[in-house]
Chains A and B, each alone.
Chain A
Amino acid sequence: MLTQPREGGDHYLLFPAAHISGALLTFSAEYSQYVFRDFPQIRSDMIRVTNLVKRFGELAAVDNISFEVERGEIFAFLGPNGAGKTTTIKMLTTLLKPTSGSLELDGLDPTVKRDEVRKRFGVVFQDPSLDQDLTAWENMEIHGVLYGVPRKERHERATTLLQLFELFDRRDALVKTFSGGMRRRLEIARGLLHTPKVLFLDEPTLGLDPQSRNQMWTHVKSLNETDNVTVFLTTHYMDEADRVASRIAVIDHGRVVAIGSSRELKEQTKTESLEDAFLALTGTTIRDESADSADAMRQIARMWRK
């Protein structure tokens, strides 16, 4: 929580009382900590990451990154394998504790107000998180209950989403009988079952056919527009980032290399396409996540941690 105005404090001016008079301005600055604790939605940043570091032993998976995601924005994290995208998402979604630096989601610290923060986001993970021994419907059902979606709404939304992703006919089949693409679609449908304030999508379209990708982005965009859901996504597909994201952060070796709109990135690197801009920023060496020595080290570090 912020206790005093600092750089970037001009966001506070959105607080209407601040415009009324100078006296009131002093007052509101002085008491802003209380005011903003009660009305965190007044602040305009949904996510604020400052000097974030995550080390696994010697290896810094995330190495001093800072960025803000505005309320209602679609923000993309673009980076090669092992750049630290997933680690950052894990820290924002309370699954990992940062080594140092500060995190804020809707004005709350995910390391302290874990349950409060969890109420505010939805997430589609990069790797599977379905229960394969349950049916598609049961997976949706558990999710809905965990997120406190009322029964009637839960069933309606589950039906709509399963139909949207063409899984409704298979709703009573066990997930282990599903193909990779179907599982991915179910994973996304489940992530959209409740309407969060922030939606994290960690390479959601990996392994999806163009039709499903299209469906998904259309749906995500409409959520963003109608319900003002802030979207934080990572992807390998440049065209997706180009198409949906209002701002893009390029991350490599755990550091933010560049940040801005697709146009800004292209201008900055004097390139024609986002893909070229990406390559200009991150180089052309291939990083293979599983064969990477750094990743092997991370595995070992993880094993010996505690």
Chain B
Amino acid sequence: MSVIYILWLREVKKYLRSRTQVIASLGSPIMYLGVLGFGLGPIFRKAGEGSYLQFMAPGVICMTILFTSMFSGIALLWDRQFGFLKETLVAPVPRTWIMIGRTLGGATVAMCQGLLIFIVSFIAGFRPNSVAVIPLAILFMALVAIVFAALGTVIGSSLKDMQGFQLVMNFMVMPIFFLSGALYPLTNLPKVLALLTRIDPLTYGVDGMRTALINVTHFGLAADAIVLFGVAIVLMGAGAWRFSKIEI
């Protein structure tokens, strides 16, 4: 337990110390909220869908969590490069614990970022239905964070060097975001796109958040939670397995 805790603490401490990074990573979500939120707002309203800012804020919070948690998983590559990974790999504790500590640490950091964006979107004018739904939203944020921190660990454990990183960003993280329905409603999509959005785990995160916060749903709260929970378990298992196979 103390092993998981200390590795979790390591991630959190590093996060709290990198203020510039925190601020920098808030840049793109704020752009999405400000520019897209207000820019596409009038058209969205004309289409009879209500406020676009209300609609997309849960999506942008999920996006922030997606980016931060994937990034924290892939940060394994930095640890590999700068050597700290070795220190943990030879430690006399099951690698699964190490992986769990790291992943939960990364997920926690991602949640903090998500909460920051939540506050930013609140300032921008986003209003959840009531204060009472916030714990439920936080639960979904946690699930999304764990799913993608684990996915990041799977990828980080499988890559040998930084060269693959851009590949992952462009062909994995971006599609996951764009296919998640964070920016558009899932109704009346072309068949292929509809199928792809259903494969994307983030879709269920965005839908769950939206259901919790503004009571607009596509799959229903229970379905969202079950899918995310299942994917989280599968990816944590895969992450633990990949992590145990690392050779340096």
**A-B complex is real:** yes
Q: Give the CA-CA distance A148 to B6 in the complex, in Å.
A: 12
Is the CB of B84 closer than 8 A to any CB of chain A?
A: yes
| A141 contact set on B, CB distance < 8 A | 6
Interface residues of B in 81-136 (CB under 8 A from A): 82-94
Is the CB of A155 closer than 8 A to any CB of chain B?
A: no
Is the CB of A147 closer than 8 A to any CB of chain B?
A: yes
Closest to B98 in A: A146
Q: Answer whether A134 and B13 are a contact pair too, CB < 8 Å, given A118-B92, A147-B92, A302-B160.
A: yes
Centre residue among A95, A127, A132, A141 by max chain B CB count within 10 A: A95
Q: Of A96, A119, A129, A146, which one neighbours B6 at CB under 8 angstroms?
A: A146
Is the CB of A131 closer than 8 A to any CB of chain B?
A: yes
Say yes or no: A90 contacts B160, CB within 8 Å.
no
Is the CB of A145 closer than 8 A to any CB of chain B?
A: yes
Interface residue SS majority, chain A:
loop
Say yes or no: B160 contacts A303, CB within 8 Å.
yes
Is the CB of B188 closer than 8 A to any CB of chain A?
A: no
Q: Give the CA-CA distance A119 to B93 in the complex, in Å.
A: 8
Q: Answer whether A125 and B160 are a contact pair too, CB < 8 Å, given A141-B6, A146-B93.
A: no
Say yes or no: B17 contacts A142, CB within 8 Å.
no
Interface residues of B in 39-93 (CB under 8 A from A): 79, 82-93
Q: Of A90, A131, A148, which one neighbours B248 at CB under 8 angstroms?
A: A90
Interface residues of A in 120-162 (CB under 8 A from B): 120-121, 123, 125, 127-134, 138, 141-143, 145-148
Q: Answer whether A95 and B90 are a contact pair too, CB < 8 Å, given A133-B17, A134-B14, A145-B3.
A: yes
- 4 closest A-B pairs by CB: A146-B91, A129-B83, A118-B92, A119-B92
> Could you list 27 examples of A-B contacts with CB < 8 Å?
A90-B248, A93-B90, A94-B89, A95-B90, A96-B247, A97-B247, A115-B93, A118-B91, A123-B90, A128-B83, A129-B86, A130-B84, A130-B87, A132-B82, A134-B13, A134-B14, A138-B13, A141-B6, A142-B7, A142-B87, A146-B87, A146-B88, A146-B91, A146-B92, A148-B93, A302-B160, A303-B160
Q: Other than the known A95-B90, A96-B247, A118-B91, what 11 A-B pairs have Cβ atoms closer than 8 Å? A: A95-B247, A95-B248, A125-B83, A129-B84, A130-B87, A138-B10, A138-B13, A142-B6, A142-B10, A146-B3, A146-B87
Binding site for B on A (CB under 8 A): 90, 93-97, 115, 118-121, 123, 125, 127-134, 138, 141-143, 145-148, 302-303
